[in-house]
């Protein structure tokens, strides 16, 4: 009897067992091999946990990563961590933003050290975080007369839109200015206006550090979307015309001159009569794609971005680029690199990304300059025999890197890895596309200089 | 023991990694007295009774057996050892009986009686010399005094691959000198394995298997096939990313770029587990069958994978059944069932494995991987599917 009592006690205590795994001995919690089958009633006595119901729909999420010190990632705990830990300089892997769990974020844009989000809320429609030295995320003052230069959590930006039914449909950020478009076709700008990039007259000695000005840009047609270069802004109207204002020394205004201007006027050249769908620009080289799939370019061409049409280093008039890649659906223009995505046709199996320019183009170390578009192998962008239906759907560029999102919800990045902006878990440059580990389906990506933000959707 | 040159050295070149790997395969395993026709079947041509010594001398090589679920690999090795020893002893018994019967029938003469025990180096000479015995013992079969010639411990069986206790599938074992193939097989590169895992949703146990003690129950009514496939594709893409880090090449090199642009890359030896393909084969809640293409995985890894899948689906999951469908070039068709673990079948299996290994392992292993169709449940295979199945 004593023996059986002792053996009962021994069986309660978890014994460690010495095992060997891949040639290495280690101790594991030994689960003694069961002598008798499990009582089936145990299962019936357990309660049934219900984590989600049949009617639950996948939620939206926002992930941010990159340079954290300016507060652009929107996570206060990175800069003022609890438990006495050191603040993060950068985050080299995606981290979920708590703000997006509580608010419906519909659009996101990354500028140079700040992030702006369009939110579907009746009271505040635009939120921003990060650098605020030029009021690019609005006037943010904790005390009157003491503007905040750095905002570590998303804060509302006061905009002159009173109607709660009007939503912010598109946001774009430049070096130190922001622009957004509302659902009624109006375009607004805020931030630095030193070169007229806000579409209003340049006032000498204007103080931008605590400036509450949110200017509605007078464009005579309803505006559909907006894109910001480094110091200029481009508005795309419903009818497909592109209105530009701001810094123009590289011809990025498309006006035929190299002057800066604050008035938003349409770009001419080969864009006459074309319906532009999207404009892409990170610095001063502008690419536009029309509804019919043609690509137009103007602005800086120092890195042979427009070598197909000109030998000049600047192009101040939009020209159609004979790329020879078929119908194009998306364009992206980094500081020295350009990328296009052609249309996916099921039987022709297109949906390919082409790159050209100078830098880490994404085709290994041997290709660092290309005047013609060069195809990135589809296997690098997630299409292989195991997932044959995974095709790229969008291309987005930062200043030094490029990214591609696919139909399967994957995000691939490559280029110069400033402060972990590629999101690959380290700070080394990558010369061909690699997948960013995000446990959700990526729907939209915004790239800044050294940080990124991704709008995602849960799997389940 | 006299020994002919029975092996030749074949060089493997892995073009992508530019490493030379050597694999030694015994090429001459066909014993005398047997002929192999085109179907690989053997037939005796000689009418003289077989000698266990000859068979034993040539019993070296790789055998692919089917390990049933619930058996440990050690148990299978033990069973194989016992069966081979018993069969070889039976062969010798039959030969002795034939010789004795022949002599008795011819009213034979004890002088022509051959020493009954085989002269292989691993077998002990007779402890008792029947010629020196007294008349009452002289007529006895010396084997009754010394016991069977071959003991199970004499048959060396080594494992060349691993399979978990709860898993079933082709298991590679090396018999006698076939154990030396372990190093060669390891050098040839990690083989892709295809598993068919059946999971049960809504239950979590302590051992991650359905037979364990239940620890949690969860609702699974919200799990649809579309949601499951979305989670599987996300998991597959996340794992495929790991393959670039495990190729053993510097990631920013031109060689790494060229390898990656060809397709999913084979990891190097000793790398952590990588999963290349996850496909839902059958969806009948609470049971779900998934096909897993993976490299360097272990049985515990697959159990954890199913448990994690349950968490991702906002429910719980345990493994009901785990079947390995193929291990590199070895399929279920090459695997010998336990009821066929007899000498003649094992010899034939060794010859078949030799051919399979020669085809699948001596050519440079492709640096990129392609999926293979599992048996049944997958999409209809087009003509040429046999070739597709043999692709690696």
Cβ-nearest to A53 among B215, B222, B251? B222
Choose the weakest-confidence range: B137-141, B220-224, B230-234. B137-141
Q: How confident is the model at residue B308 (pLDDT cuts 50, 70, 90)?
A: very high
Question: By the CB < 8 Å criterion, does A61 face chain B?
Answer: no
Q: How confident is the model at residue B128 (pLDDT cuts 50, 70, 90)?
A: low
**pLDDT tens digit string along B102-121?**
655 544 444 444 444 444 44
Distance from CA of B164 to the nearest CA of A (A): 12
Q: Which two tokens stand for residue B35?
A: 């002929």
Task: Using CB atoms within 10 Å of the CB of residue A3, give its burial: 0 to 12 exposed, 13 to 18 middle, 19+ buried.
Answer: exposed
Are A380 and B261 in contact (CB < 8 Å)?
A: yes
Q: What are phi and psi of B183, to 5 degrees?
A: -65, -40
Contacts of residue B276 in chain A, CB cutoff 8 Å? 386
**pLDDT tens digit string along A329-374?**
999 999 999 999 998 776 666 789 999 999 999 999 999 999 999 9
Question: By the CB < 8 Å criterion, does A56 face chain B?
Answer: yes
Q: H helices within chain B, ranges in order?
A: 52-57, 73-105, 135-138, 142-146, 181-188, 225-245, 254-262, 299-312, 343-360, 385-390
Q: Please, how many CA atoms are within 13 Å of residue A16, restricted to the half-sphere of its CB?
A: 6
pLDDT for B267: 78
The per-residue pLDDT of chain A, averaged, comes to: 92
3 state SS of B245: helix
Contacts of residue B240 in chain A, CB cutoff 8 Å? 384, 386, 435
Question: By the CB < 8 Å criterion, does A425 face chain B?
Answer: no
Residue ranges of B 312-341 with Cβ closer than 8 A to chain A: 312-316
Q: Which two tokens stand for residue A121?
A: 């809320």
Are A410 and B237 in contact (CB < 8 Å)?
A: yes
DSSP string, A198-262: TSSPPPTT---TT---EEEE--SS-EEEEEE-SSEEEEEETTS-EEEEE--TTSTT-SSS---EE
Residue ranges of B 357-376 with Cβ closer than 8 A to chain A: 369-371
**pLDDT tens digit string along B226-244?**
999 999 988 888 888 887 7
Distance from CA of A124 to the nearest CA of B (A): 33
Segment B331-340 shows an average pLDDT of: 95
Res. B155: pLDDT tops 50 = yes
Are B263 and A48 in contact (CB < 8 Å)?
A: no
Residue B192 forms beta bridges with which residues?
Answer: B295
pLDDT for A152: 96
Res. A36: pLDDT tops 60 = yes
Question: By the CB < 8 Å criterion, does A43 face chain B?
Answer: yes
Question: By the CB < 8 Å criterion, does A240 face chain B?
Answer: no
**pLDDT tens digit string along A70-80?**
999 999 999 99
Nearest residue of B to residue A382, measured between CA atoms? B237
pLDDT for B242: 80
- Measured torsion, CA atoms of residues A367, A368, A369, A372, in degrees rounded to the nearest 10: 40
pLDDT for A28: 64
Q: How confident is the model at residue B28 (pLDDT cuts 50, 70, 90)?
A: very low
Which of A361, A387, A388, A408 is most worth mutating to test chain B (most B CB atoms within 10 A of its CB)? A387
pLDDT for A434: 93
Res. A388: pLDDT tops 50 = yes
Segment B326-330 shows an average pLDDT of: 91
Are A46 and B219 in contact (CB < 8 Å)?
A: no
Question: By the CB < 8 Å criterion, does A437 face chain B?
Answer: yes
Question: What is the model's pTM?
Answer: 0.81
Do the Cβ atoms of A440 and A458 come closer than 8 Å? yes
Segment A279-294 shows an average pLDDT of: 96
Q: Which two tokens stand for residue B371?
A: 């999926």
Q: How many CB atoms lie within 10 A of CB B342?
A: 14
Segment A250-274 shows an average pLDDT of: 95
Cis peptide upstream of residue B286 (ω within 30 degrees of 0)? yes
Q: How many CB atoms lie within 10 A of CB B101?
A: 11
The topology under which CATH files domain A61-457 is Methylamine Dehydrogenase; Chain H (2.130.10)
pLDDT for A356: 96
Cβ-nearest to A385 among B214, B313, B370? B370
Cβ-nearest to A437 among B222, B238, B253? B238
| CATH 2.130.10.30 placement within chain A | 61-457
Question: By the CB < 8 Å criterion, does A81 face chain B?
Answer: no
Are B253 and A382 in contact (CB < 8 Å)?
A: no
Res. A203: pLDDT tops 60 = yes
What b/e readout covers B269-304, taking b as 16+ CB neighbours within 10 angstroms? eebebbbbbbbbeeeeebebbbbbbbbbbebeebbe
Q: How confident is the model at residue B352 (pLDDT cuts 50, 70, 90)?
A: very high
Q: What is the distance of C-alpha A296 from the center of its chain?
A: 23
Question: By the CB < 8 Å criterion, does A422 face chain B?
Answer: no
| Best CA proximity match to A438, nearest among A402, A398, A395, A408 | A408
The C-alpha atoms of residue A207 and residue B24 are separated, in whole angstroms, by 80
| Best CA proximity match to A134, nearest among A178, A168, A188 | A178
Distance from CA of B309 to the nearest CA of A (A): 12
Q: How confident is the model at residue B362 (pLDDT cuts 50, 70, 90)?
A: low
ipTM over the 0.90 cut-off = no
Choose the weakest-confidence range: A204-213, A450-459, B383-392. B383-392
Are A52 and B222 in contact (CB < 8 Å)?
A: yes
Question: By the CB < 8 Å criterion, does A439 face chain B?
Answer: yes
Nearest residue of A to residue B275, measured between CA atoms? A386
Q: How confident is the model at residue B338 (pLDDT cuts 50, 70, 90)?
A: very high
Segment A397-403 shows an average pLDDT of: 96
**pLDDT tens digit string along A169-182?**
999 999 999 999 99
Are B261 and A460 in contact (CB < 8 Å)?
A: no
Res. B39: pLDDT tops 90 = no
């Amino acid at each position: 009897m004593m023996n059986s009592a002792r053996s009962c006690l021994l069986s309660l205590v978890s014994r460690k067992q010495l095992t060997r795994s891949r040639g290495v001995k280690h101790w594991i919690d030994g689960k003694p091999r069961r002598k008798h089958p499990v009582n089936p009633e145990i299962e019936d006595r357990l309660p049934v946990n219900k984590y989600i119901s049949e009617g639950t729909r996948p939620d939206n999420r926002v992930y941010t990563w990159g340079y954290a010190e300016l507060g652009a990632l929107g996570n206060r705990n990175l800069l003022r961590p609890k438990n006495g830990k050191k603040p993060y300089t950068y985050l080299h892997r995606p981290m979920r933003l708590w703000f997006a769990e509580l608010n419906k974020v519909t659009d996101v844009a990354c500028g140079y050290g700040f992030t702006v989000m369009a939110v579907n809320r009746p009271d505040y429609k635009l939120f921003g975080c990060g650098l605020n030295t030029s009021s690019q995320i609005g006037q943010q003052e904790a005390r009157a007369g003491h503007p905040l230069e750095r905002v570590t959590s998303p804060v509302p930006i006061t905009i002159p839109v009173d109607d709660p039914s009007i939503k912010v449909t598109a946001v774009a950020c430049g070096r130190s200015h922001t622009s957004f478009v509302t659902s009624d076709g109006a375009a607004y700008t805020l931030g630095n206006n030193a070169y007229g990039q806000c579409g209003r007259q340049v006032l000498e000695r204007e103080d931008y550090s605590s400036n509450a000005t949110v200017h509605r840009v007078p464009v005579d047609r309803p505006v559909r979307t907006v894109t910001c270069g480094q110091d200029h802004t481009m508005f795309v109207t419903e009818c497909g015309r592109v209105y530009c204002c701001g810094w123009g020394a590289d011809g990025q205004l498309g006006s035929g001159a190299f002057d800066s201007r604050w008035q938003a006027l349409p770009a001419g050249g080969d864009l006459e009569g074309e319906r532009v769908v999207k404009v892409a620009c990170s610095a001063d080289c502008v690419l536009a794609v029309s509804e019919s799939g043609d690509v137009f370019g103007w602005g800086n061409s120092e890195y042979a971005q427009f070598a197909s049409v000109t030998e000049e280093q600047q192009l101040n008039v939009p020209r159609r680029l004979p790329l020879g890649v078929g119908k194009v659906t998306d364009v992206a223009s980094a500081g020295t690199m350009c990328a296009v995505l052609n249309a996916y046709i099921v039987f022709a199996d297109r949906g390919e990304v082409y790159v050209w320019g100078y830098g880490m183009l994404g085709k290994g170390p041997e290709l660092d300059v290309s005047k013609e578009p060069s195809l990135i192998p589809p296997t690098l962008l997630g299409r292989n025999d195991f997932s044959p239906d995974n095709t790229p759907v969008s291309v987005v560029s930062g200043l030094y890197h490029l990214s591609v999102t696919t139909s399967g919800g994957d995000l691939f990045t490559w280029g110069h890895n400033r402060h972990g902006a590629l999101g690959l878990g380290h700070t080394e440059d990558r010369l061909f596309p690699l997948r960013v580990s995000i446990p959700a389906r990526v729907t939209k990506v915004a790239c800044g200089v050294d940080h990124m933000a991704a709008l995602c959707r849960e799997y389940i | 023991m006299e020994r002919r040159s029975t092996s030749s050295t074949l060089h493997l070149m892995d073009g992508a990694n530019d490493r030379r790997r050597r694999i030694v395969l015994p090429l001459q395993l066909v014993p005398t007295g047997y002929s192999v026709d085109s179907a690989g079947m053997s037939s005796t041509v000689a009418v003289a009774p077989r000698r266990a010594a000859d068979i034993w001398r040539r019993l070296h090589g790789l055998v692919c057996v089917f390990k049933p679920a619930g058996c440990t690999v050690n148990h299978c090795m033990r069973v194989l050892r016992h069966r081979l020893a018993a069969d070889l002893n039976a062969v010798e018994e039959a030969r002795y009986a034939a010789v004795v019967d022949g002599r008795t029938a011819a009213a034979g003469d004890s002088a022509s009686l051959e020493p009954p025990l085989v002269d292989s180096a691993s077998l002990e000479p007779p402890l008792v010399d029947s010629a020196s015995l007294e008349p009452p013992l002289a007529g006895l079969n010396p084997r009754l005094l010394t016991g069977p010639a071959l003991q199970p411990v004499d048959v060396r069986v080594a494992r060349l691959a691993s399979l978990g206790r709860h898993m079933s599938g082709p298991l590679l074992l090396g018999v006698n000198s076939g154990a030396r193939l372990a190093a060669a097989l390891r050098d040839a590169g990690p083989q892709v394995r295809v598993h068919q895992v059946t999971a049960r949703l809504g239950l979590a146990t302590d051992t991650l298997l359905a037979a364990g003690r239940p620890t949690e129950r969860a609702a699974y009514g919200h799990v649809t096939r579309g949601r499951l496939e979305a989670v599987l594709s996300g998991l597959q893409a996340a794992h495929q990313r790991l393959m670039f880090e495990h190729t053993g090449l510097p990631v920013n090199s031109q060689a790494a770029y060229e390898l990656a642009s060809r397709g999913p890359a084979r990891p190097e030896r000793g790398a952590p587990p990588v999963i290349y393909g996850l496909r839902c084969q059958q969806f009948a809640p609470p049971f779900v069958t998934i096909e897993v293409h993976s490299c360097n995985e272990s049985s515990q890894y697959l159990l954890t994978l199913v448990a994690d899948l349950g968490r991702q689906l906002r429910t719980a999951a345990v493994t009901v059944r785990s079947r390995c469908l193929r291990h590199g070039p070895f399929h279920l068709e090459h695997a010998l069932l336990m009821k066929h673990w007899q000498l003649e079948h094992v010899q034939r299996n060794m010859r078949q494995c030799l051919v399979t290994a020669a085809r699948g392992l001596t050519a440079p292993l492709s640096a990129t991987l392609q999926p293979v169709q599992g048996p049944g449940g997958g999409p209809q295979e087009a003509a040429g599917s046999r070739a597709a199945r043999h692709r690696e």
